[in-house]
């Protein structure tokens, strides 16, 4: 089994440990070998402490052999996005400004993973400070999409999604301020969950994005996402926005199903433009929930477009947070940032205040929809993974042959950062070019379990959760 353990997800590894079919040391060793072969061409993982990780894996193996009490994620290797604090492990935020920063404490979620017995395998790539939806930076360079190495992996949790899709780890943690878990999950063909705002505490962290950021898991199955959520969620006083978790288990939600649930499918949110092939694939996928007893209806939505508000939020928060180190950072930053960050200097206090007003306007429309429907389904992204060489300032410059704004291709994700609702991306098909398509599933506030239950039903319909990405099938690895 040693040569195949890298194929196992979280649940698969836990069952294999229980049977004695493998052990954490064998698994970590196998994954490290695979990382050395594949990661140089993917560039998903940017930091590894191999000696320390192998030592920890050996200790986990010994604990199993002794019959010691084990945590729910004992011996499970997990990757952490490189803007999440990891004690004693380099945390760069994808920035040359922090190229030598080693935190003295773990983030709350890392504390919880370790307490549950998980092994922090390494750190994953992101755009500098997570500011754009494509993973590239001046410190480590771009992360490739494992389905086609010439294409983008998305962002900002692009390293996490690409690593999980490449079978370099069974799970990874990302965060999402405008779609940063769901976008790369969609483009890389994996499961990405943005929980309810505050469900997973965020502490410590750099300033900015305080009411937009959500921590969450990226996995190859919905079941594995539930296993991580059972460990990661719950209130912590260090994060004043953190909220309590559910009684019981997220995993239990998968047995509930969605029979009788009212589901809305929206090919547009009113202002969004979507590639015709993506629309067709996601519509067909949504309608197949009727096979599980859901009542699916296509709806026409006309919500306000908060793309400008997202831009204002990104620029104003970043400029304020970096004010004291701007002179030093300006000479080190990702070159693209020099073209758009200075625009923030022209913004006024009124511009920033209007973001909150528009946020309220959006919520007025959103809650009305969920008065009638239990779930909303729509495309996760307006396009599939696009070639790096064709990238505009932050994404494709045209969709369906029509010119679009920089954030138009992520227009389906950021509304739910403004509202804070749970939302996930689940693989639902492949384009004619063999690229993954993600279907976004959104629920009412605080109802991750309905999102996960619907995703589990979709997962039972589509068989993409264990697919080997085409780019790796083609032998595009370092031997």
> Could you tell me the pLDDT band of residue 287, with boundaries at 50, 70 and 90?
very high
Higher pLDDT, 394 or 187: 187
DSSP letter at 387 equals: B
Q: What is the pLDDT of residues 346-376, one digit of tens each?
A: 999 999 999 999 999 999 999 999 999 999 9
Average pLDDT over residues 290-307: 97
Q: Please tell me whether residue 214 adopts helix, strand or coil conformation.
A: strand
Per-residue pLDDT of 136-155, as tens digits, reads 999 999 999 999 999 999 99
- Active-site residue among 153, 160, 166, 180? 180
This prediction has a pTM of 0.97
Considering the chain, what percentage of its residues have pLDDT values greater than 70? 96
The answer to whether the beta carbons of residues 156 and 180 sit under 8 Å apart is: yes
Q: What gap in Å lies between CA 25 and CA 349, rounded to an integer?
A: 55
CB 127 within 8 A of CB 180: no
Q: Which residues contact 250 (CB under 8 A, 6 or more apart)?
A: 225, 226, 227, 229, 230, 233, 448, 449, 452
What is the pLDDT, as a whole number, of residue 145?
Answer: 98
Catalytic one among 60, 61, 81, 194?
A: 81
Q: What is the mean pLDDT of residues 315-341?
A: 96
Which of 95, 144, 153, 156 is catalytic? The answer is 156
- Phi/psi for 232 (5° steps) reads -85, -25
Tell me whether residue 180 is one of the annotated catalytic residues. yes
Q: How much is the mean pLDDT over the chain? A: 95
Strands, DSSP E only, in 77-220?
77-81, 119-124, 144-145, 148-152, 171-176, 191-194, 214-219
Domains recognised in the chain with CATH numbers: 5-473 (3.90.1300.10)
- Do residues 83 and 125 touch, judged by C-beta distance below 8 A? no
Distance CA 388, CA 37 (A): 22
Q: Establish whether 81 is a catalytic residue.
A: yes
- pLDDT at 478 (0 to 100): 41
Distance of CA 343 to the CA centre of its chain: 28
Q: Can you give the pLDDT at residue 1? A: 61
The residue-averaged pLDDT of 159-181 equals 98
pLDDT tens readout for residues 191-211: 999 999 999 999 999 998 899
């Amino acid at each position: 089994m040693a040569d195949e353990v890298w194929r196992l997800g979280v649940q698969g590894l836990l069952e294999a440990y229980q049977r004695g079919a493998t052990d954490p040391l064998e698994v970590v060793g196998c994954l490290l070998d695979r990382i050395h072969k594949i990661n140089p061409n993917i560039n998903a993982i940017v930091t590894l402490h191999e000696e320390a990780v192998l030592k920890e894996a050996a200790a986990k193996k010994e604990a199993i052999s002794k019959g010691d009490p084990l945590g729910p994620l004992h011996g499970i290797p997990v990757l952490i996005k490189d803007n999440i604090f990891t004690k004693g492990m380099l945390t760069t935020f994808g920035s040359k400004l922090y190229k030598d920063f080693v935190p003295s404490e773990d983030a709350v979620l890392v504390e919880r993973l370790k307490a549950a017995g998980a092994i922090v395998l390494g750190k994953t790539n992101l755009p500098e400070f997570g500011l754009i939806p494509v993973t590239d930076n001046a410190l480590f360079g771009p992360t490739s999409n494992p389905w086609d190495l010439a294409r983008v992996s998305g962002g900002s949790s692009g390293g996490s999604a690409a690593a999980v899709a490449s079978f370099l780890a069974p799970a990874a943690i990302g965060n999402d301020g405008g779609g940063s878990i769901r976008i790369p999950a969609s483009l890389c063909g994996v499961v990405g969950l943005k929980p309810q705002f505050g469900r997973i505490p965020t502490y410590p962290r750099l300033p900015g994005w305080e009411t937009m950021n959500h921590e969450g898991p990226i996995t190859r199955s919905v079941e594995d996402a539930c296993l991580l959520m059972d460990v990661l969620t719950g209130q912590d006083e260090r994060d004043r926005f953190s909220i309590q978790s559910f009684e019981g288990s997220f995993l239990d939600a998968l047995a509930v199903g969605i029979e009788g649930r009212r589901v809305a499918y929206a090919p547009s949110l009113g202002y969004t433009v979507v590639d015709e092939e993506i629309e067709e694939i996601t519509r067909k996928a949504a309608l197949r929930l009727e096979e599980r007893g859901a009542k699916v209806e296509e709806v026409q939505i006309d919500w306000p477009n908060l793309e400008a508000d997202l831009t204002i939020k990104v620029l104003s928060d970043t400029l304020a947070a970096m004010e004291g180190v701007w002179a030093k950072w300006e000479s080190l930053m990702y070159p693209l940032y020099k073209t758009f960050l200075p625009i923030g200097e022209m913004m006024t206090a009124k511009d920033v205040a209007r973001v909150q007003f528009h946020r309220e306007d959006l919520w007025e429309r959103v809650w009305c929809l969920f008065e009638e429907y239990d779930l909303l389904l729509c495309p996760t992204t307006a396009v599939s993974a696009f070639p790096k060489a064709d990238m505009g300032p932050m994404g494709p410059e045209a969709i369906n042959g029509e010119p679009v704004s920089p954030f138009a291709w992520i227009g389906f994700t950021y509304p739910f950062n403004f509202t804070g609702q749970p939302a996930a991306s689940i693989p639902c098909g492949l384009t004619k070019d063999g690229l993954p398509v993600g279907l976004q599933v959104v629920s009412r506030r605080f109802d991750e379990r309905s999102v996960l239950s619907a995703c589990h039903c979709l997962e039972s319909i589509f068989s993409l959760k264990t697919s080997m990405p085409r780019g790796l099938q083609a032998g595009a690895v370092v031997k």
